[in-house]
Amino acid sequence: MLLVPLHHDDFFRPIHERPRPIATLRRELYESLAPIANRWSTLLGKPGYPPRHQQFLDRCHAAKQLRPTPLLLRYGAGDYNCLHQDLYGELSFPLQVAFLLSVPGTEFSGGEFVLAEQRPRKQSRCEVVPLRQGDGVVFAVDRRPVQGKRGVYQARMRHGVSRVRSGRRLTLGIIFHDAT
C-alpha cells in the first residue's frame, strides 16, 4: 500500500491548501455526521463535538494536532491494510469515510473493505463491506455504542483492506481530526 498526498506538495500542508473539493467534502461530511457523533457521545458519556468542522479543527490545533489527515491510498497486487484504527492524537472524531475510486472486478480483484468489531467477553465479528466505484462507507474510528441486554456498551472497531490479488485499488480516506 502506498499513501499518496492529496496535493503535489508536502502531505502536511494545511487543509485549506488542499484541493477545494476535498476540503469541501471533508467539511460537509463532518457537519452531516456531527449529530450522529453527538448521539454516540451522549450514549457513551463522552464530551460532544461542535456543529462546524472548523470549530473541531480549532480544538485539534489547540492540542497540537496540526496535520490534515485526508489521504489517497493506492494498493497494488499483494498489498493489503491490516486491521487498524486511524487515531493520530489525543482528539479524534468517532466516524470517518472511505470512498472506493477504482472499479472492482475490472481494475482490481480482492481488496475488500473489512470491519472488525471487538465485543466485550465475546468473539470478534468481521464484516466485509462490498463497495462499487464511487461508493463511500462511513465507519467508526475507535469505539461505537451497542445496545446490549444490560444497556449500552462500547464495541471497539478496527478496519482494513484484504489482499489485492491483481490490479490497482484506489481509495480516498476522509478522517475528520487532524494529526500530531
**58's grid cell:** 480549532
Q: How does strand 108-110 pair with strand 81-84?
A: unpaired
Residues 104, 4: Cα–Cα separation, whole Å: 20
Could you tell me the domains of the chain? 2-175 (2.60.120.10)
pLDDT tens, position by position, for the chain (180 residues)? 544 434 333 333 343 444 578 999 999 999 999 999 999 999 999 999 999 999 999 999 999 999 999 999 999 999 999 999 999 999 999 999 999 999 999 999 999 999 999 987 888 999 999 999 999 999 999 999 999 888 999 999 999 999 999 999 999 999 999 999
Q: Which helix (H) or strand (E) holds 27?
A: helix 20-44
**This prediction's pTM:** 0.86
Q: Calculate the dihedral angle through the C-alpha atoms of 145, 34, 114, 18, rounding to the nearest 10 degrees.
A: -150
Residues 42, 145: Cα–Cα separation, whole Å: 10
